[in-house]
Amino acid sequence: MIGEAASPEMIENVRKLAQATPGVIAMNELRTLHQGPEEVLLAVSVDFDDAMTAGEVEESIYRLEVAVKRQYPIVTRIFIEVQAARHHKEMIEQEQKARAGD
């Protein structure tokens, strides 16, 4: 179990929670990793509405963290990257080109 992703059901539910978070306009990526039998790390890349203030983004991130941990206490760490969807796409494309060049 250690090193594996969380269940597809959990991933889909977390994705829905993120997409329902105020100000989220795109869910770029979601990764999970079991660090132990009762410990999951969650990494999320999210694009927020550019009109939001930094404080509003912080509040939305907090709400998302609380919602995820309330539904899934097994999630002990959450890392949320605020990233424009177009920048995320560019980074993925660059990673793919780098791998293809190996």
Q: Tell me, what CATH number does 54's domain have?
A: 3.30.70.1350
Q: How many structural domains comprise the chain?
A: 1
Helices 8-19 and 54-71 sit at what angle, rounded to 10 degrees?
A: 150
**Predicted local confidence at residue 2, as pLDDT:** 73
Q: How many other CB atoms sit within 10 Å of the CB of residue 58? A: 12
The pTM score is 0.83
Q: Establish if 52 belongs to a structural domain.
A: yes
Domain containing residue 65: 8-100
Kindly tell me the sign of the dihedral angle through the C-alpha atoms of 9, 59, 35, 5. Answer: positive
Q: Establish if 2 belongs to a structural domain.
A: no
Which pLDDT tens digit goes with each residue over 35-91? 988 899 999 999 999 999 999 999 999 999 999 999 999 999 999 999 999 999 999
Q: Phi, psi (5° rounding) for residue 17?
A: -60, -45
**Predicted local confidence at residue 29, as pLDDT:** 93
Q: Establish if 1 belongs to a structural domain.
A: no
